[in-house]
Structure 1
Amino acid sequence: MASRMSSGALGKLAVRLRSSFWFLPALMVLAALALAPGLIALDHHLGSGPGERWPALFAIVDADGARQLMATIAGSMITVAGVVFSITIVALAQASTQYTPRVLRNFMRDRGNQMVLGVFLGVFAYCLGVMRTIGGDDGADFVPLVAVTAGLALALVAVAYLVFFIHHVAASIQSGQITRGIAADTLATIDRVFPDALEGEDTPAERDPDGGLRWHPVAAPQMGYIVSLDRDALLAFARERGVAVRMERSLGDFASPDLPIACIGAGEPPDDEARRCLASLFAIDSYRTIEQDVAFGIRQLVDVALKALSPGINDTTTAITSLDYLSLILRRLAGRRIEPRPIRDGGALRVLPAGPGFERLLALTFDQILENAHGNTAVLLRMLQAIEEARSGTDSPRRQRLLDDKRAVVAEVARRTASSGDALRRIEAQLAGAAGARETNGA
């Protein structure tokens, strides 16, 4: 059980390492430091043979020349690494200002940025590792021809990575690339967290389906956002102790030590060890992540749309781009079973999970954008289209009613805030066309 109890901390560590700007570069530096003595050992084994056999490839130079070459490459690499870091910080600041601070971690976890920094630092470390062996070896000059030539080749590779980095940064700060990346991560999370297609209805579960259970609250171990949860470990905890567990907070929710994060259903109050074990299954951090939190992906796209609709930016095209991807995400959700279901073990209730249902995700997708889109006919028309696209992706009468209610709210705002007669005619045409298509499909 000890390994399961640490699953929350391990999940948080994995997320942090992936999104850190130092982990992959550190691994590449270690690899470079291991490569240097390996090639030097090969040079000791081969001697001057490579230089004599392939003089054009392994140019024979003296110790001073080899040392100067490695020093020049090392100095250039660390200088360019500083430039790369500076460009990255500028890109992060621009993305935070232009779009939303929530997208910063997307840049930090970008493998391209991490690889580029790792390449330059790795070549720098490699050159230092080779330089220390050039020259004196029992009074005789030793020039590791293979290692020096490899350093030169690595420098050329680093130059190619610099060109790639400039292109990559210029592309990654464009609104289309940012929204596409967020949507791709969100869709992958949906497939991972909600893999089952919806068959029939998907109504919210009762919070105490068996009734009569005595629920004992368990406080969160620290304040912050719930970023991951091992549901298998949660079931194992409940099964091994013969109790039921009810989640009071779901992934992405804020938790604090003065509020319960879960409750244990048992006849007798659980001991402190059981409370600590249960609390440790929830990974809590100072920021939300998208690995298990579908709502956070939607939140990022909504924030990009809100920033675009702000008076200081007034970028309707970016707002519509966000709605394009939100429409795709909502349609995917509309056809999946997402309401949390009770988990039983041989008829006994074990886990009552918590999570955002379709109604909450639907409100998150549209409500704030709607409040900031008054009079913006293009955005309101795209919202109506998105609702119809989501409606066509589900056969659930309950979800269709929720989408119809949201459509009525958007339509009311669109009619009331229409800036001209032409805008009102376009809105009515959209509503009439959607109603006609629905009647045709129903027929």
Structure 2
Amino acid sequence: MTSRIRDWLERLGDAFWIRPAALVLLGILLGEAAVLAEQKELSPSWLPESWVYAGGEAGARAMLGAVAGSMIGVAGTTFSITVAALSLASGQMGPRLLRNFVRDPGNQLVLGVFLGTFAYALVVLRTVRSVEEVAFVPHLGITGALMLAILCTGTLVWFVHHVASGINIETVIDMVHEELSSAIRRLSQDEPPVLDEGVPRGEPVVIRRQGYLRSVDVDGLADWAAEHGATLVVLVRPGDYLLPGVPVAEVQGDVAAEEVEQAVDGALSLGARQAAAQDLEFAVRQLVEVAVRALSPGTNDPFTAAAVIERLGATLCEIVPLHLPGGVAIRDGRAVLHRKVTDYDGLCDSMFHLIRQNGAASAMVIIRIVETLGRVMLAEGRPERRAALIRHARLAVEAGRQTIKDPAGLRDLENYYAALQQSRPG
């Protein structure tokens, strides 16, 4: 159930309209409350009388009309700036990173503040009446509109700063790295996982849906398998694209095929896009895409690739005291669920293979890979993990020997590799 809730929350984060809609609703409610307070002659004691609007009906309508008109115009400008920033980010850093800009609470809240102020001004404006209509001027409501207009002015200044800094490549890399670090903290564990001593074979289980697997309700499936005396083997993992009719699991046990398919289908959350809820490699792929695009012939920016490599090294150092999730679920001393998980070797492969392949001709990139792996080796003490780091360092050196033409760069590469081989954990 926890995985379902997390996936649901992530889907809500992908919806750009939720926060603006909530602020528009809040603006409507505040407008109604301000009008009601005026009708009840309730004036806040903390508000100085000199701050409360004291004009007449004509001035009230003009002021509220000015606030409403200006806010809807600024909201349109804000939306245009956001779209322009998204287009720039898509071209420079890859379309898959648009998800991070769309999910940015700052962009959503700014648009919501402007639209909420517009809705507030309209709600208050409709209650203003002249003497012929039984005079009513909501002084508190107009004062609130003035305060919201001042708030919007400050919000606009902040938004310009936020967009300007948000499309900076270093800011984007840090943002994606933080998402990766959050996924590691959420999915890793302090205790070693139960080792999978062998995956049993069983009857195939298929589902008729298609899409990216966003999350798996592991606890729910394990409880179901234990209750029915079955053993499940999940053949897919979050991040895979599922094809209709292709087996996604295997089952051992005396359970009806329809019941198994229903249980498995209900535990798999699919969508049109990948998600970071349970996919540890999702943020890794986003970082790697930034580096690969920077290394393309049209861009040729090894400094960005080096910045990504350093964040990947920091991620490996964060994993040092942790254990990646295991692929076995135990119930009552029996392995009831086997599933595919990301291991340390696979994580390193997703981090360095594409960068090495696309940056093999750049001495800076290859050297930075070997240097970063050597620094990680100083913190990592587990033999199997050190073997994976040495393997990737060796692959980088072999690629560098074939493509690097600069003798000095090749010499530096060999020196870093020799230092890595002699490194010892601190």
The answer to which of 158-167 and 287-296 deviates more is 287-296
CA distance in 2, matches of 1:246, 1:14: 27
Q: 1:220 to 1:187 in 2, by over 3 A?
A: farther
* 1:17 Cα deviation after fit: 1.1
The DSSP-based 3-state class of the residue aligned with 1:384 is helix
Whichever residue aligns with residue 38 of structure 2, its letter is D
Kept after mapping to 1: 8 A contact 2:295/2:305 = yes
Kept after mapping to 2: 8 A contact 1:226/1:255 = yes
* 1:145 Cα deviation after fit: 0.4
* 1:76 Cα deviation after fit: 0.8
Tell me, yes or no, if structure 1 residue 240 matches structure 2 residue 222. Answer: no
Residues 264-285 of structure 1 show CA distances to partners (whole Å, capped at 9, x for unaligned) of: 22134x2424412321211111
Which residue of 2 is the match for residue 357 of structure 1? 343
* 1:96 Cα deviation after fit: 0.8
Which residue of 1 is the match for residue 18 of structure 2? 23
Kept after mapping to 2: 8 A contact 1:70/1:148 = yes
Which residue of 1 is the match for residue 37 of structure 2? 42
The answer to which of 161-170 and 290-299 deviates more is 290-299
CA distance in 2, matches of 1:29, 1:176: 33
CA distance in 1, matches of 2:417, 2:48: 76
Tell me, yes or no, if structure 1 residue 168 matches structure 2 residue 162. Answer: yes
Which residue of 2 is the match for residue 181 of structure 1? 175
Alignment map for 1:225-236 (pairs within 5 Å): 225-236=212-223
Q: TM-score, normalising length from structure 1?
A: 0.90
Q: How many residues align?
A: 425
Q: Could you tell me which runs of 5 or more consecutive residues in structure 2 were left unpaired when the two chains were aligned.
A: none
* 1:23 Cα deviation after fit: 0.4
CA distance in 1, matches of 2:374, 2:92: 30
Residues 6-25 of structure 1 show CA distances to partners (whole Å, capped at 9, x for unaligned) of: x7765543212112110011
Alignment map for 1:279-318 (pairs within 5 Å): 279-318=265-304
Alignment map for 1:120-269 (pairs within 5 Å): 120-135=114-129, 139-196=133-190, 205-208=196-199, 211=200, 215-268=202-255
CA distance in 2, matches of 1:260, 1:204: 24
Whichever residue aligns with residue 196 of structure 2, its letter is A
CA distance in 2, matches of 1:324, 1:284: 33
* 1:309 Cα deviation after fit: 0.3
Tell me, yes or no, if structure 1 residue 338 matches structure 2 residue 324. Answer: yes
Whichever residue aligns with residue 383 of structure 2, its letter is P
CA distance in 2, matches of 1:41, 1:267: 66
Kept after mapping to 2: 8 A contact 1:25/1:118 = yes
> Structure 1 residue runs of 4+, over 6 Å off?
none
The answer to which of 253-262 and 335-344 deviates more is 335-344
* 1:84 Cα deviation after fit: 0.7
Which of 380, 395, 403 is matched with 1:394 structurally? 380
Q: Could you tell me which runs of 5 or more consecutive residues in structure 1 were left unpaired when the two chains were aligned.
A: none
Residues 326-346 of structure 1 show CA distances to partners (whole Å, capped at 9, x for unaligned) of: 111123235432252322222
CA distance in 2, matches of 1:239, 1:71: 65
Whichever residue aligns with residue 41 of structure 2, its letter is L
**How much is the aligned-residue C-alpha RMSD, in angstroms?**
2.3
Whichever residue aligns with residue 70 of structure 2, its letter is S
Whichever residue aligns with residue 46 of structure 1, its letter is E
Q: TM-score, normalising length from structure 2?
A: 0.93
Tell me, yes or no, if structure 1 residue 347 matches structure 2 residue 328. Answer: no
The answer to which of 361-370 and 382-391 deviates more is 382-391
Tell me, yes or no, if structure 1 residue 105 matches structure 2 residue 105. Answer: no
CA distance in 2, matches of 1:314, 1:88: 27
Q: 1:90 to 1:206 in 2, by over 3 A?
A: farther
The answer to which of 99-108 and 387-396 deviates more is 387-396
CA distance in 1, matches of 2:423, 2:12: 49
Which of 5, 8, 14 is matched with 1:13 structurally? 8
CA distance in 2, matches of 1:395, 1:50: 64
